[in-house]
Amino acid sequence: ELMRQFYAQIDKKGFVIDERFNAGGQLGDRFIEMLNRPVVYNIAWRNADVTHWPQRGNNAPKVMLINGWAGSGGDAFPWAFQQLNMGPVIGERTLGILVGPATGHRLIDGGNITVPDARLYGADGKWFAEGYGIKPEIEVWDDPAQLAKGIDPQLVRAVQEALKLVKEKPRVIPGRPAFENRSANAQRTF
C-alpha cells in the first residue's frame, strides 16, 4: 500500500505516513530506504522537464502516525523512523511486540502457540523495548466523540505538523542553472 501511494505522490511538499493498525509481518527496511532516499542530482533535458535522480527520491518533510494497534513490524517501522530522525512520530504508543520470527506449533486441541526465534536491537547497541513499544514524540489520543463526528484528531495533528515542517524546512529543489555557451568558439582557450 505504501509503495503504491507514495510513488503516486512523489512530487508533494510533505508527507504523512499513516502507520496505524500495522500488524506487521515484515520489518519495513525497504520502506525506510524508500522514504529516506535523497535526490542526489538533477538531469536538465534539452526539450523536457528536469528529472530528479534517483527518480523516486524526495527530501520533503515527513511525519508518521502510530497507534496502540500497531505491533511487531508495526513497531519496527516507527522505531527505524525515529532512529534515523526522519521526522516526528505522532499518536499513541505501539504494542511493543517486536520479536524475531516466531515459529508456530500446532497443539493437539487445534490451537497454536508461537515461540520467537530472535530479538532485535538497534545500531546504538540497545534492545528494542519489548513490552513497551514506540512512544511518539507528540502524543495524541483518539477521542471517540470526535471520531463519531468524522474527525480524526491524530490525523488532524499530523497534517498540522507536516504543514508546519513544510514552512520551516521546505523541500529543497534547486533551480536549473542557466545554460552556458558550450559552442566550440566559446571553449577556445588559445
Q: Is the separation of the CB atoms in 96 and 78 below 8 Å?
A: no
pTM assigned to the model: 0.82
Q: What DSSP designation does 46 have?
A: T
Residue-number span of the structural domain to which 69 is assigned: 15-25+60-171
CATH code of the domain containing 64: 3.90.226.10
The x, y and z cell numbers of residue 123, run together, are: 545500531
Residue 155 CA from chain centroid, whole number? 15
Count the domains in the chain.
Answer: 1
Q: Is the separation of the CB atoms in 116 and 91 below 8 Å?
A: no
Within-domain flag for 184: no
Q: Is the separation of the CB atoms in 133 and 94 below 8 Å?
A: yes
Within-domain flag for 109: yes
Q: Report DSSP letters for 23-34, one per residue.
A: --SS--HHHHHH
Q: What DSSP designation does 121 have?
A: B
pLDDT category at 63 given cuts 50, 70, 90 is: very high
| Per-residue pLDDT tens digits for 132-182 | 999 999 999 988 999 999 999 999 999 999 999 999 998 877 788 887 887
Within-domain flag for 49: no
